[in-house]
Amino acid sequence: MLLRRAGERDVPALLTMLRDPEVAPWWGNYDADRLRADLNDPGSEMFAVEVGGEVIGVLQVAEENEPDYRHAALDISLRSDFHHQGLGRETLRVAIDHLIDERGHHRLTIDPAAENERAIRCYTAVGFRPVGIMRGYERAPDGRWRDSLLMDLLAEEYRAGP
């Protein structure tokens, strides 16, 4: 598994993944323009997840650098044919190690849709803990507002292990 900065060359593979019927309900409606805007968003970094030279997913990282509130927020998705193989956990661990060891973050957050049980199981397995429900947090592809579960992970808990 390789994480690298995503770019224009990744747009076709990432669009295919984001339009996957098992992925799209959690990420919304994507077209090339929206994806390019995300790739060029100065407030976050988007990484391609590669396995065997093939782009199979995406990881987004947003860092809060205000010293009194410093933390990083993560979001991840993999193509559905790569689900249930431990690759999401592996990808998150690589990113978490980097964000703690190289970028100096002491706290990480992730906020899946409250009904996305598969994602919540993955994040819990890595060490994230539920903080609380953010009501009406995001608009689902069907137009309704849905709740998200705020989860966080502290560096000292991550290093201590389960």
pLDDT in tens, 96-129: 999 999 999 999 999 999 999 999 999 999 999 9
Residue 78: closest CA among 68, 91, 69, 97? 91
Tens-digit pLDDT profile for residues 41-66: 999 999 999 999 999 999 999 999 89
Q: Is 114 exposed, middle or buried (0-12, 13-18, 19+ CB in 10 A)?
A: middle
Domains of the chain plus CATH, in order, are 2-160 (3.40.630.30)
Question: Which pLDDT score, from 0 to 100, does residue 162 have?
Answer: 64
Alpha helices (runs of H) in 20-126, residue ranges in sequence order: 24-27, 32-39, 87-101, 117-126
Task: Output the average pLDDT for the chain.
Answer: 95
Return the percentage of the chain with pLDDT > 70, whole number.
99
Q: What is the pTM of this model?
A: 0.93
The continuous run of DSSP H or E covering 59 comes out as strand 54-64
